[in-house]
Amino acid sequence: MESRALGTLSVSLVGLGCNNFGMRIDQAQTQAVVDAAREAGITLFDTADVYGGTKSEEFLGVALGSHRDEVIVATKFGAPVGEGKSGARPGYVKAACEDSLRRLGTDRIDLYQLHMPDDATPIEDTLAALDDLVTAGKVVEIGCSNFDSTRMAAASSASSAKGTARFTSVQNQLSLLDRRQEADTIAACEAHGLGILPYFPLASGMLTGKYRRDAEPPEGTRLAGLPSERREKALSDRTFDTVEKLEAFATERGHTLLELAMCWLAGLPTMSSVIAGATRPDQVRDNAAAVGWTLTADDRTEIDALTKR
């Protein structure tokens, strides 16, 4: 597994998203997924306090056990996890960190990320609190999520002005089926030295080939559990038109749709790790093995045409 730098950290090119832990899979299933990830060379495990109703962090901590120091643990704060427990005000940042440390059963968080912007709290105040956590050794690197270029620029300026810790990563939604934030995110990351950690890189499984036009989504899949209106939108003919074109592109070149989705992301500027969720060990192994195809400039031009909307 290729490793890439993320601030002072070294992370595997494929990471494991832990949003299913405590929600779609139990502790035993989580253990199997985590074990498979480690065996496949995955070192980045990305969770959040809100995932699984706070159970994801607990499940991950137990599953890592004595292997904790062999991996990079990333988690997030800021999404609502209870009354009065949300946002990025300094007092809450520190309290949320202590809660996450306890649930994870660890003495440090390798990458601590603000899950979503809190425009009611000055970013310099949030960064000062995060800097205190870094100084205390409770956090190694800090990152943001769902930030646009304007907010990333403001955070970078605040860090420079105050001499506080800087965001080293941004976690935004990005895939071959959702490129709306691509240009904005890449430009900001290049300007401010951030690495990209895309979430939903496989578009909830649409880029794995598991869903077929005019067929019900397989039982137990993410899209099968969506409300009917959202499911119909995700499984629209327009989406399948694009998916089928991409699958044909990959097949003609001796690759799978999954490999195309993962390798397209891996080749983008400032890409640090492609974080893909999984509920089964075989999914983890497939994701880990899907990188390695280097797309040419001509390939990317053709893909741009296939995914243009």
Q: What is the per-residue pLDDT across 165-176, written as a single tens digit (0 to 9) for each?
A: 999 999 999 999
Task: Report the distance separating Cα 118 and Cα 124, nearest Å.
Answer: 12
Run of H or E residues at 276: strand 274-277
Task: Report the distance separating Cα 94 and Cα 130, nearest Å.
Answer: 8
Flag whether the pTM goes above 0.85: yes
pLDDT of residue 221: 75
For 91, other C-beta atoms within 10 Å of its C-beta total: 9
Q: Tell me: the pLDDT tens digits for 13-70? A: 999 999 999 999 999 999 999 999 999 999 999 999 999 999 999 999 999 999 999 9
Q: What are the structure tokens assigned to 79, written together? A: 């999404």
Between 229 and 67, name the one with better pLDDT: 67
In percent, how much of the chain has pLDDT > 70?
A: 100
pLDDT of residue 108: 98
What the chain holds in terms of domains, given with CATH numbers, is: 3-204+258-293 (3.20.20.100)
With cut-offs at 50, 70 and 90, classify the pLDDT of residue 215: confident
Q: Is 156's pLDDT higher than 90?
A: yes
Q: To the nearest whole number, what is the mean pLDDT of the chain?
A: 94
Residue that the structure tokens 């609190």 belong to:
129
With cut-offs at 50, 70 and 90, classify the pLDDT of residue 268: very high
Q: Is 8's pLDDT higher than 90?
A: yes
Residue type, position 9, single letter: L
In percent, how much of the chain has pLDDT > 90?
A: 86
pLDDT of residue 184: 96
Is the CB of residue 274 less than 8 Å from the CB of residue 291?
A: yes
Which entry of 51, 92, 112, 199 is annotated as an active-site residue?
51
Task: Report the distance separating Cα 128 and Cα 197, nearest Å.
Answer: 23
Quick check: helix, strand or coil at residue 74?
strand
Residue type, position 22, single letter: G
Residue that the structure tokens 């997924």 belong to:
33
Residue 51 is among the residues annotated as catalytic for this protein: yes
Residues whose CB is less than 8 angstroms from the CB of residue 148 and which lie 6 or more positions away in sequence, other chains included = 181, 184, 188
Is the CB of residue 23 less than 8 Å from the CB of residue 17?
A: no
Q: What are the structure tokens assigned to 262, written together? A: 């993962």
Residues whose CB is less than 8 angstroms from the CB of residue 98 and which lie 6 or more positions away in sequence, other chains included = none
pLDDT of residue 113: 98
Q: Tell me: the pLDDT tens digits for 191-211? A: 999 999 999 999 988 899 888
Report which of 128, 123, 131 is spatially closest to residue 150, judged by C-alpha positions. 123
Is the CB of residue 157 less than 8 Å from the CB of residue 184?
A: no
